[in-house]
């Protein structure tokens, strides 16, 4: 039985943990998998409950953390080499930037036969200045040479990696969309809606708008705040808004909310562990990011029958159906974003149509069984 060492950045709430868990559990018995990952930040919610609920074993590398630290990173690199030496994997599959950098270097040094890396997103724009970005691109091009295959999670991301940023050749990149157990988002929707709205004292005539994700600069929450202010001043509906998540921008965003006079409108919930209990209480889900890979929140929103207003970046155009499940605008088009949000807020029939279209679109495309089939086939080809 071939062995896979799967390495993820850290065990924080988000798509990579879910995907790593499904792959670790359901690729058996064809493959034996060992899952390892780094430490979450203090501001992030832990995703370890996902692994425990699924009965998936895992190992944490305490020194592998989000931010660059030469001592921590070198220590984590040697820890990964030790795991490779002890486990003797046929495949090392890394997920996201830090795991990809340390894991692929270690795997190449240990002469692992097959090395695979998945880009869950990338840092080639909207994260750093030009010089730092050019350094990261050079590193990723070198790591790509050490990789047997690269996995992109959308066609748009593949085009960015190959054509725009020239990280590697087209033939080396395989598109494998993320996969989840989305059925749980269809369970007890009415009961979950009632409980969420009761908890946050949402009245029947109040329209609720939410955004889900890390409170980080790249997520561009300031646009969300401005859009809610526009909605409050121009909509005929009573508006409530929810920022679900946490992160280093929390204090800044809270101060911004006060400055905009939105304290009675916007609620910070921090992380909600079972996010499937939150979406039913919302009427519209927003995303305002400068850069995305495949945003899990938009997949979950569609699985929860929610209409979407989003910026059109990264793989978002592959995740939603523009004009049928979501209204999209470029990051620079603030006015269009505001008008899209107002249109969905005011038009109950359009919002209802979008919500019905969402589940039909994602229920098979992003189910984890399709993920298992795709990656199993890729591994078999690479092992030959």
Q: Name residues whose C-beta falls within 8 Å of residue 347's C-beta, 6 or more positions apart in sequence.
A: none
Residue appearing with tokens 């087209």? 170
Looking at the structure, tell me whether residues 158 and 20 fall in a common domain.
yes
**Segment (H or E) for 32:** strand 32-38
Q: For residue range 86-142, what is the model confidence (pLDDT) as tens digits?
A: 999 999 999 988 999 999 999 999 999 999 999 986 656 545 667 777 888 889 999
Asked if residue 209 lies in contact with residue 231, where contact means CB atoms within 8 angstroms, the answer is yes
Question: Which residues constitute the domain of residue 287?
Answer: 182-365
Looking at the structure, tell me whether residues 109 and 238 fall in a common domain.
no
Looking at the structure, tell me whether residues 36 and 143 fall in a common domain.
yes
Spacing of C-alpha 280 from chain mean position:
20
Looking at the structure, tell me whether residues 78 and 93 fall in a common domain.
yes
Report the CATH number that the domain containing residue 52 is assigned in CATH.
3.40.50.2000
Looking at the structure, tell me whether residues 15 and 106 fall in a common domain.
yes
Residue appearing with tokens 């598109």? 175
Q: Name residues whose C-beta falls within 8 Å of residue 325's C-beta, 6 or more positions apart in sequence.
A: 302, 307, 308, 354, 357, 358, 361
Along the 384 residues of the chain, how does pLDDT read in single tens digits?
999 999 999 888 766 888 899 999 999 999 999 999 998 877 777 888 889 988 999 999 999 988 889 999 999 999 999 999 999 999 999 998 899 999 999 999 999 999 999 998 665 654 566 777 788 888 999 999 999 999 998 888 899 899 988 999 999 999 999 898 899 999 999 999 999 999 999 999 999 999 999 999 999 999 999 999 999 999 999 999 999 999 999 999 999 999 999 999 999 999 998 999 999 999 999 999 998 877 899 999 999 999 999 999 987 988 999 999 999 999 999 999 999 999 999 999 999 999 999 999 999 889 999 999 999 999 999 998
383: Cα within 13 Å, side-chain hemisphere: 17
Q: Which two tokens stand for residue 232?
A: 């409050």
* C-alpha to C-alpha distance for 333 and 27, rounded to whole angstroms: 43
Looking at the structure, tell me whether residues 374 and 336 fall in a common domain.
no
Bridge partners, 8 (sequence order): 37, 95
Q: Which two tokens stand for residue 370?
A: 């399709």
Number of domains within the chain: 2
**Segment (H or E) for 301:** helix 296-303
pTM value is 0.81
Looking at the structure, tell me whether residues 191 and 161 fall in a common domain.
no
**Of 282, 293, 281, 290, nearest to 310 (Cα)?**
290
Exposed/middle/buried for 376, CB within 10 Å: 0-12, 13-18, 19+? middle
DSSP structure class, residue 277: G
Looking at the structure, tell me whether residues 61 and 186 fall in a common domain.
no
Looking at the structure, tell me whether residues 252 and 164 fall in a common domain.
no
Looking at the structure, tell me whether residues 267 and 130 fall in a common domain.
no
* C-alpha to C-alpha distance for 157 and 96, rounded to whole angstroms: 13
Q: Edge-to-edge strand order for the sheet containing 307-311? A: 266-270, 238-244, 206-212, 284-287, 307-311, 326-329
The helix/strand/coil state of 272 is coil
Q: Name residues whose C-beta falls within 8 Å of residue 204's C-beta, 6 or more positions apart in sequence.
A: none
Q: For residue range 131-180, what is the model confidence (pLDDT) as tens digits?
A: 777 888 889 999 999 999 999 988 888 998 999 889 999 999 999 998 98
Looking at the structure, tell me whether residues 144 and 214 fall in a common domain.
no
Q: Which two tokens stand for residue 330?
A: 């470029």
Looking at the structure, tell me whether residues 122 and 195 fall in a common domain.
no
Asked if residue 58 lies in contact with residue 36, where contact means CB atoms within 8 angstroms, the answer is yes
């Amino acid at each position: 039985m071939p062995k896979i060492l799967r390495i993820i950045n850290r065990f924080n709430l988000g798509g990579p943990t879910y995907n790593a868990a499904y792959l670790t559990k359901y690729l058996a018995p064809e493959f034996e998998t060992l899952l390892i990952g780094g430490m979450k930040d203090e501001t992030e919610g832990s995703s370890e409950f996902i692994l425990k609920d699924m009965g998936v074993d895992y190992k944490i590398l305490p020194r592998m953390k989000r931010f660059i630290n030469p001592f921590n990173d070198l220590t984590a690199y040697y820890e990964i080499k030790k795991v490779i030496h002890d486990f003797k994997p046929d495949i090392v599959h890394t997920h996201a930037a830090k795991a990809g950098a340390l894991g692929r270097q270690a795997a190449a040094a240990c002469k692992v036969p097959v090395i695979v890396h998945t880009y869950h997103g990338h840092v080639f724009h909207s994260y750093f200045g030009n010089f730092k970005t050019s350094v990261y691109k050079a590193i990723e091009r070198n790591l790509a040479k050490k990789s047997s295959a690269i996995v992109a999670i959308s066609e748009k991301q593949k085009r960015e990696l190959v054509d725009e940023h020239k990280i590697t050749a087209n033939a080396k990149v395989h598109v494998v969309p993320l996969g989840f157990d989305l059925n749980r988002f269809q369970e007890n929707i009415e009961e979950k809606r009632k409980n969420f709205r009761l908890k946050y004292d949402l009245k029947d005539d109040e329209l609720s708008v939410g955004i889900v994700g890390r409170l980080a600069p790249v997520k561009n929450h300031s646009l969300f705040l401005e859009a809610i202010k526009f909605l409050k001043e121009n909509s005929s509906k009573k508006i409530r808004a929810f920022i679900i998540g946490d992160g280093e921008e929390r204090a800044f965003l809270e101060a911004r909310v006060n400055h905009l006079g939105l304290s009675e409108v916007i609620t910070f919930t921090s992380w909600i562990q079972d996010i499937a209990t939150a979406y039913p209480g919302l009427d519209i889900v927003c995303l305002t990011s400068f850069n995305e890979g495949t945003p899990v929140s938009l997949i979950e929103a569609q699985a929860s029958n929610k209409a979407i207003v989003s910026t059109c970046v990264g793989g978002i155009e592959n995740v939603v159906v523009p004009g049928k499940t979501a209204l999209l605008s470029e990051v620079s088009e603030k006015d269009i974003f505001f008008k899209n949000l107002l249109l969905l807020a005011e038009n109950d029939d359009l919002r209802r149509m979008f919500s019905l279209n969402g589940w039909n679109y994602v229920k098979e495309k992003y189910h984890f069984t399709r993920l298992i089939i795709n990656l199993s086939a890729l591994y078999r080809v690479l092992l030959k």
